[in-house]
Structure 1
Amino acid sequence: MTEARTLKVKTTLARQMAQPGGRTVAEVERRANERLERHRDDVMTTVAGTVTELELVCMAAAPGSEPDVYRLASSLLDTAGFFDTGPLYDAGYSLCEIADRMQASGAWSWPSVQVHVRAMRLILTGGCKADAATEALLTGLRSVAALSRQAT
């Protein structure tokens, strides 16, 4: 019977990783954030367009358009989540939460959705800054979300 031998193969990548030098994690993160920041204006334009779409869905309030609310709100979160949009992200998350609850229960409330969308427009217009006004808006949205939880 022959004895098994173990061979260690050193790949090119392993050799390169073993060499000193390269970039630190902090430097890589900084460079990634700089590159991401270059897209902020385009992303915020997309976010504003999504809020406009939500406003149009709310104005129509057509039966059967309820799933569009969750789809658009979650799309907004997916896009805005790459940047510090603070209160806008919180308002979008709250809208997703109530839309999901209302859709599941069948007890849809367009005024609850409209309040969220109007708050999102105000926050977006204000530059997504966390201040006393946006905190007051978010407190109101939390109240609306609490009422929607009680209704389901």
Structure 2
Amino acid sequence: MSEARLLKIKSPLARQVHEPGGRTVRDAEMRANRELEVHRAPVMAAIAAAVDELEAISAEASPDAGPRVYATASRIIDIGGYFDTGPLHEAVYSLCDVADRMIGAQMWHWPSVDVHLRALRLILAGDCRTSRSSAVLLDGLRSVAERINQLTAPPAD
């Protein structure tokens, strides 16, 4: 019986990683962010258009509009996912959560949606920057979400 031998094989990639030259991770990240920033204005315009769409759905207030609110709000999360949108992401996520709970409970409360939409407009007007105002808005949205959680929770046994 022969003795087992361990062979260390170095792949071409492993050799290249240890050679001098190339880009650092920091340089690659800065370059990627710079290239991505070119798309920021069109993305923010698309987000504003989606908020317009949400406002139109809310004004319609039809009983079957819940899934459309959820779909449109989740599209905002998808569109803005590559950018630092600060408090906007949390506000839209809250709207998705509230819409999902109301859809599941088959109970719709349009004022809760309207509060979220007003907060989204204010956050967009503030260029999606984190501030004391945005913190207050997010606290208010958390209160709205908690109230919806209470209203849509199944009855205790």
- TM-score over 0.5 for the pair: yes
What is the Cα deviation at residue 12 of structure 1? 6.2
Across the aligned residues of Structure 1 and Structure 2, the Cα RMSD in angstroms comes to 2.1
Spell out structure 1 runs of 4+ moving beyond 3 A: 8-19
Give the Cα separation in 2 of the matches to 1:61 and 1:22.
56
**Shift in Å, 1:53:** 0.5
Q: Mark the runs of 5 or more structure 1 residues left unpaired by the alignment.
A: 1-7
- Give secondary structure in 2 for the equivalent of 1:20: coil
Equivalence map 1:1-152=2 (5 Å): 16-17=16-17, 19-152=19-152
In the alignment, structure 2 segments of 5+ residues that lack a partner are 1-7, 153-157
**1:13 Cα offset (Å):** 5.4
The alpha-carbon deviation at position 51 of structure 1 amounts to 0.6
Q: TM-score, normalised by structure 2?
A: 0.85
| TM-score in terms of structure 1 length | 0.87
Residues 101 and 148 of structure 2 are in contact (CA less than 8 Å); yes or no, is this contact kept in structure 1?
A: yes
Q: Deviation of residue 80 (structure 1)?
A: 1.5
Q: 2:20 aligns to what SS in structure 1?
A: coil
Deviation at 1:18, TM superposition (A): 5.3
Q: Which amino acid aligns with 2:117?
A: V
Q: Secondary structure at the match of 2:142?
A: helix
Would the aligned equivalents of 2:63 and 2:108 in 1 still touch at CA under 8 Å? no
- Count matched residues: 152
Q: Distance in 2 between matches of 1:25 and 1:60?
A: 49
Which residue of structure 1 aligns with residue 4 of structure 2?
A: none
